[in-house]
Amino acid sequence: MRLVITGGAGFLGTRLARKLLERGTLVDAAGNARSLRRLVLLDVVAATVIDPRVTAIAGDLADPAVIERVVTADTDSVFHLAAVVSGHAEAEFDTGMRVNLDATRALLERCRKLDRPPKFVFTSSLAVFGGQLPDPVLDDAPLTPQTSYGAQKAIGELLVYDMTRKGYIDGRSLRLPTVTVRPGKPNKAASSFASGIIREPLSGIDAVCPVAPETQLWVTSPRRVIDNLIVGHDVAPAKFCQTRSVNVPGLRVSVEEMVSALRRVAGDAVAARVKWQIDPVIDKIVRTWPANFAPRLGPALGMNGDSDFGTIIDDYMQEMAT
């Protein structure tokens, strides 16, 4: 199989690439398990995954010439992870539309032209929901985004569904919970603090939490989300029934509970490095995100959520120690 990962040099893209290379096989659009012979990683910078099966390409996803180079006629599957994150998309409307919508449309149009419809895994977001919603949020809840990022992801889902209905692709849109704990530096995502309030204190650095302690989130660990992306790719089309969008299982947790778990795992001194200072811009965005879901389709497909937040912290600490 020939696979493409957009955002292939990013945190999730790199992890997904390594997991796919380790597995060595995936299920193609015809339902056959096939060996991975070529993995193409596209990002604005070259990916650093070293393997003879990997081709790293640095380029602009919104450039049609780059898309033509990356999605060749023998492409079997595309994992579309590349995106402008939530806070950035809200602050810079044109940039968000160009990357999150225009580039997604161009990528789908390229896939549409292939002789064999490829599998297309679109990483959507719980930000497609907002406003007055049932509690918990069910799989068939209406899409009511309250941010530009959420609107762009919702439009992407509709494009994926319609092109699947027409037989141009075999699409599946996975609405990811907030992924934590992410290593590295903070980014412009409104959810960046969900990693920062764990990562920085464990490194001996103070971290500012920009939302209230009672703020609740729907979260997932990096390890779990990668597993669920692969499940979403491999599952048979008939399992989706009338939809191609999935609320990926997660864990409901308040920010206060996250810090309490940090205290249990790492001690009082570490937890005390979290400082509370409301940022009105971030708080407004985060408040639009629902935090309580009752996913049914995801678990039925074989997806799983994390059991508790302390285990997520333990996993991060063990990874950082290796």
Catalytic residue annotation: 149
From the CA atom positions of the chain, what is the Rg in Å?
A: 19
Residue 191's SS3 state is helix
Alpha helices in the chain (DSSP H): 11-23, 64-70, 86-91, 93-96, 103-112, 148-165, 193-202, 222-234, 255-266, 268-271, 280-287, 297-301, 309-321
Q: 219 and 312 in contact (C-beta within 8 Å)?
A: yes
CA-to-CA dists, residue 300 to 121, 235, 240, 254, 297, angstroms = 18, 10, 10, 26, 5
> What is the strand order of the sheet 2-6 is part of?
54-58, 38-43, 2-6, 77-80, 119-125, 170-176, 245-247
Question: Given the structure tokens 């764990």, which residue do they identify?
Answer: 198
Helix (H, G, I), strand (E, B) or coil at 300: helix
Q: For residue 77, which of 25, 124, 128 has the smallest C-alpha distance? A: 25
CA distances from 291 to 14, 133, 255, 284 (A): 27, 11, 11, 14
